Amino acid sequence: MTTTPSEMFLRRRHGTTVAPGVSGRRPANGSWRAPRDRQRGGPVTIPAPIVLMIGPPGSGKGTQAERLIARCGYVYVGVGDQLRSEMSHHSRLGRVIEHYVATGALVPTPIVHEEVAAILRKQRPRIARSGGILDGYPRTLSQAKDLLSLLKEVRLRNPLIVVNLRGPDRLFAGRLLGRGRADDTPAVARRRLRQFRKEVAPILAFLRRHTSVLDVASTGSVPVVARSVRQAIDRRLRELQAAEGGSEVDRAG
């Protein structure tokens, strides 16, 4: 069986299975348990989250996603990797995808839907147990709406947490220019950032109405931002535990 790029990524970055700073006993199924449920007297079970990283070019979202996977053991769900894998294998679907990529158009939502659904179904046991990181999806408002229905369709109970990396465009433009690529000019960097803001605004507005969006400053060093991301996720998991059972948990390590 052919190994996809995302599967190779997972093998390289299998990491641990410790979620970011939530105490309490972790059962074999990977869910998080508060010490007690005051209403029923039993444990409160919160599945490890599915994390969606959003951030403009130069925000370091790819690096932060890698660090979360290595630290927390989340399953990597790389939609872009899957689409590129189809193209590299010259499948019928891959040729269709290649046509859109070659013309600079976004791959249509129905195609992306089927690819994402296939990944989630295949990885469902691992995601349900260990949580996941979504990379390269959603890219449009229709895909954001589709995501919520997809998670229900594949029966994943994991809470969806969106990490929105924020900072001034001048910082992100400087990081892009610092990579030294020939096509990274100041004008190109500014255009990419403007395009991102335009495309992501409706997606974030929708997600804020329907799930947890955590705004995290991406202005510090990689380790500093990584710690802020983990702490933000940790706080949200605590809120979910408190809402479910009102149990107190220890401070993140």
Q: Block means of pLDDT (10 residues each) for the chain, length 253 residues? A: 38 37 38 42 74 94 94 90 85 87 82 88 95 90 92 93 96 92 88 93 96 96 97 94 63 37
Distance in angstroms (rounded) separating the CA atoms of residues 213 and 54? 10
- CATH number of the domain enclosing 77: 3.40.50.300
Residue 172's contacts (CB-CB under 8 Å, 6 or more residues apart) are 56, 57, 58, 59, 189, 193
Q: Which domain holds residue 33?
A: 5-245
Contact assessment for residue 89 and residue 98, using Cβ atoms and an 8 Å cutoff: no
Q: Is residue 168 part of a domain?
A: yes
Is 151 a domain residue? yes
pLDDT confidence of residue 246: 52
pLDDT of residue 143: 92
Task: Report which of 59, 53, 34, 78 is spatially closest to residue 217, judged by C-alpha positions.
Answer: 59
Q: Does residue 138 belong to any structural domain of this protein?
A: yes
Q: Please state the domain count of the chain.
A: 1
Pairing status of strand 212-217 against strand 75-78: unpaired
Question: What does the pLDDT read at residue 172?
Answer: 95
How far is Cα 22 from Cα 67, in angstroms, rounded to an integer?
Answer: 17
This prediction has a pTM of: 0.76
**Does a structural domain hold residue 123?**
yes
Angle at 171 between CA 165 and CA 174, to 5 degrees: 125
Does any domain span residue 159?
Answer: yes
- Is 133 inside any structural domain? yes
71 belongs to a structural domain: yes
| Residue 200: per-residue pLDDT | 95
30 domain residue, yes or no: yes
CB 158 within 8 A of CB 128: yes
